[in-house]
A = this chain, B = another copy of it.
């Protein structure tokens, strides 16, 4: 039947992708690069969060940082990174809704011989599809912005279930969103993913950014140990 055939092909694609991801992840580990996948809806604040986080990571001993900026089209985000002096490569998926290993490998190759202590993949703005695809990273985080609403945890469970941390962004909007129920969000996310780490931040005001940066540094050390 059509559905069975599609499911079988999808499983083949995901299995092949996971094998490539394991090889890529091991190669980054061997060279001392900690790589993190950053996911979330369009406009959740991924680029702004990364700019703030990278500033924190560089402030201690000037860590070498690179960013792969994935988008369906355009180079808007890569240009923002370049303007901040961050090495970046634009990965245009040409309207594909997620990032797969073939794309990651090509984007990484575009850095040439440059090596990083931290390499970030800013994934496609999509709260659904990227959760399914291993991108060869050591750690995955997702952003949920306050204006999106806390109930997204009920409506888009797969991504909450697969990430290492949930970063609640744009917390400076909380006073305008009195119905944003942080406790309900933490509780529901904890049911989907008992080990999930939760951060409440505002990249604009800087709130919570030190704690997030400390956690990222710790994850690098633990991963490369």
Contacts and interface: CB of A to CB of B under 8 A. Distances in A.
Interface band, chain A: 35 or more
Contacts of A155: 42, 71-74, 76-77, 125
A176 B166 CA distance: 25
A149 interface: yes
A129 interface: yes
Nearest to A16: B2
A149 B149 CA distance: 16
Copies of this chain per assembly? 2
A152 B42 contact: yes
A150 to B, nearest CB: 10
Contact of A41 (B6, B95, B125, B157): B125
Contacts of A154: 73-74, 76
A88 interface: no
Given A9-B9, A41-B127, A76-B154, 19 more contacts: A5-B9, A6-B9, A41-B42, A41-B43, A42-B155, A43-B147, A72-B155, A73-B157, A74-B151, A74-B155, A95-B158, A97-B126, A97-B128, A125-B127, A125-B155, A125-B156, A126-B129, A145-B147, A147-B170
